[in-house]
Amino acid sequence: MNQNVQPLEKTATLYRMVMPEHVCPYGIKSKWLLESQGYTVADHHLTTRQQTDAFKAEHDVDTTPQAFIGDKRVGGYDALREHFGKTVIREGDTTYRPVIAIFSVAFLMGIAISWATLGTIEVIRALEWFIASAMVLLGLQKLRDVEGFSTMFLNYDLLAKRWVPYGYIYPFAETLAGLLMLAGALMWLSVPLALFIGSVGAASVFKAVYIDRRELKCACVGGGSNVPLGFVSLTENLMMIAMAVWMVAKPIFISGVVGH
């Protein structure tokens, strides 16, 4: 076997919009993806609307960019990702990514706050700050679109169905409770607030998912989310309940430990 034989160069052709007033971001992503897979890209710019429309008509496609590998048209950015075996999440697909991202960042915030304030990672305090941070971040997502959240919330929340304003109050209540718990201030307000909204939320999710067997989207990360209503939604509410109970039990627990 001839060891000097060089592998054939991988080439691709990409057509994308590059206009003075608009450069297609998916075109940039497509070029980067092809190059990251080892392809040399013949990058053709469509610099006017007329060029773009003519290209679409010639190849009978509705969108650009369009990538070709050899003589085969692969398609746009999502099609390229599929071609290379990468995950593609389309509009309307259910996903846990938003809530996983929030819980992950909140957990890291709990660790960071513990390190910054105590100079070490104290597990119990870090967990307290984790839950409080998660409440604030989840509340913030709802505050981005209170109207959208309240509409989605009405699909399953037991109290909101009876008293519509509760759907508008909830994002502010969750965020306020989380902020007060982060600060360790006004526990007389934050504890009953978290306990109340957490209990109502847990009962609502449990009924909708595990008793009525309804397949719904969760409003936990705001209106228009594609997070399924279920275990994750229940966890959010149980965390608030646990945090409220712990805030009440903590002084008793600590005094008992110190006493021994």
Tell me which fold the domain 11-83 belongs to. Glutaredoxin (3.40.30)
pLDDT at 2 over 60: no
* 5 HSE (CA, 13 A, CB side): 5
Cis peptide before 65 (omega within 30 of 0): yes
Q: Which one is predicted more confidently, 94 or 260?
A: 94
Model confidence at 10, in pLDDT bands (50, 70, 90)?
confident
* Beta strands 11-19 and 40-46, pairing class: parallel
pLDDT at site 1: 46
For a pLDDT cut of 90, what percent of the chain falls above it? 67
For 212-244, letters b (16+ CB in 10 Å) and e give: eeeebbbbbbbbebbbbbbebbbbbbbbbbbbb
Summarised one tens digit per residue, pLDDT across range 85-139 is 887 766 656 677 888 899 999 999 999 999 999 999 999 999 999 999 999 999 9
Cα separation, 95 vs 226, in Å, equals 6
Res 183 pLDDT > 60: yes
- Residue 3's pLDDT is 54
Amino acid at 248: V
CA dihedral 101, 106, 232, 193 (to 10 degrees): -140
Report the alpha-carbon distance of residue 116 to residue 137 in Å, rounded: 20
pLDDT at 194 over 60: yes
The single residue listed with the structure tokens 């504890």 is 191
pTM: 0.78
Mean pLDDT rounded to a whole number for the chain: 88
pLDDT at 188 over 50: yes
Question: What is residue 90's predicted lDDT score, i.e. its pLDDT?
Answer: 66
Quick: pLDDT tens for 197-250: 999 999 999 999 899 988 887 877 776 677 777 777 888 899 999 999 988 888
Answer with the residue of higher pLDDT: 247 or 251. 247
**Looking at residues 137-160, what average pLDDT do you find?**
92
Q: Residue 65 has what pLDDT?
A: 94
In whole angstroms, give the CA distance from residue 86 to residue 78. Answer: 9
pLDDT of residue 126: 95
Which region holds residue 224: left if phi is over 0, alpha if psi is between -120 and 50, else beta?
Answer: left
Average pLDDT over residues 168-195: 94
Looking up tokens 């430990």 gives 257
- The SS3 call for residue 130 is helix
Q: Which of 32, 140, 135 is nearest to 81 (CA)?
A: 32
Q: Is the pLDDT of residue 7 over 80?
A: no
Better pLDDT: 224 or 16: 16
Which residues make Cβ contacts (< 8 Å) with residue 208, sequence separation at least 6?
155, 156, 214, 216, 229
The confidence score (pLDDT) of residue 92 equals 59
Class of residue 125 by CB neighbours under 10 A (exposed 0-12, middle 13-18, buried 19+): middle
Range list of H helices, the chain: 25-36, 49-59, 77-83, 97-118, 123-143, 146-153, 158-162, 165-183, 187-206, 231-259
> In 3-state terms, what secondary structure has residue 68?
strand
User: Is the pLDDT reported for residue 5 higher than 50?
Assistant: no
